[in-house]
Every structure is written in structure tokens, then in C-alpha cells.
Amino acid sequence: MTVEIPGYDVPIMIGNAINPDWYEKLKLIAGAVGGGAASSAGLIPQNSQTGDYTCVLSDAGKHIYLASGSHTFTIPANSSVAYEIGTTITFVNTALAGNVLTIACGDTMILMNGAASPSFGNRTLANFGLATALKVGTVAWVISGVGLT
């Protein structure tokens, strides 16, 4: 008896017979441990951008990457894109010196920087900076990172 595991959406073949029951159970197990190979391996998928960009629902759990220039990336208001509470979006700026990434938010954004009191509003991410935004309420995000002001 041979077992072949073809592409993700193709049933498992055992010998010459299709066994969809095993396939469905394996899909269920994969979902329980992280939803697929990429997330279970600890990967954060990349969305590379070259200009101003407004995040979309499918950016949840990804890192938005800027390689050049000064641009603005925006997390839209909850009324436009309703991310689930607990959603994270990471921002990476590898642009050359002097190029900054502005991170704007249509809802409340709170900078968590270890200060006695938080600051609110849009953030600036310096070149070679990295920051992660975490949705903590219906219209509230916290953001923290390196090179973030």
C-alpha cells in the first residue's frame, strides 16, 4: 500500500482508492495546529509595497514591507475593514536613511513604548525599523517596535 499526499486540496490516495475521510481529518488537524504549513512553521507572510498603501483584511497576520522611499501605510477604520480583535499586522521599513514610513490608523492607535503614559495618533517608523500593531478593541490598536516614534 502506498500513500501519496498531493496538493493541499486533493484527496489522499491510498493505493488506487481515494480516501476523502482521511483527507478531511488531516485538514481538520492542520487547522487546529495553525491553519497550514506556513503558520505552523512560524512564518509571517510578506506583502511588499512600493508606495502608499491601505491594509486589507487579508493582511491580518502578515508583515507589510517597504524597501524604498517615504510612504504612508494605513490601517483602515473598523467601519471599513473589521479586523478581528487579536489581529496583528507587522510593518518593516528597510528604506535607505532619511526615508520614513508613516503608519496611520483610522481608529485609535496607542504607542506602547514603556513610558509612564501612552501617546496616541499616527506613528513614524524609521529606516530599518520594525513595528507590530495589535488590535485590542473594536476601534483600538496598540503598536510597539524598534525605530517607532
- Read off the pLDDT of residues 88-124 as tens digits, 9 standing for 90 and up: 999 999 988 888 899 999 888 887 766 667 788 899 9
Return the C-alpha cell found at 30.
492542520
What pLDDT was estimated at residue 15?
54
What pLDDT shows up at residue 117? 72
State pTM to two decimals: 0.71
Domain range for 59 is: 46-148
Q: What is the pLDDT of residue 110?
A: 84
Asked whether residue 93 falls in the same domain as residue 144, the answer is yes
Please indicate, yes or no, whether residues 7 and 71 belong to a single structural domain of this protein. Answer: no
Task: Let me know whether 34 and 15 are in one domain.
Answer: yes
Contact, 81 vs 57, CB < 8 A?
yes
Angle at 34 between CA 33 and CA 37, to 5 degrees: 100
- Do 78 and 10 belong together in one domain? no
**Residues 28 and 89 grouped into a single domain:** no
Structure confidence by residue, pLDDT tens digits, 3-56: 445 555 555 555 555 555 655 665 655 555 554 444 446 889 999 999 999 999
Number of domains in the chain: 2
> Nearest-CA neighbor of 130 among 105, 109, 97, 103?
103
pLDDT greater than 50 at residue 127: yes
Per residue in 54-97, pLDDT tens? 999 999 999 999 999 999 999 999 999 999 999 999 999 998 88
pLDDT for the residue 119 = 81
Q: Which amino acid is at 106?
A: G
Q: 122 in helix, strand or coil?
A: coil
Q: Give the Cα separation of 17 and 42 in Å (integer).
A: 34
- Same-domain pairing of 36 and 53: no
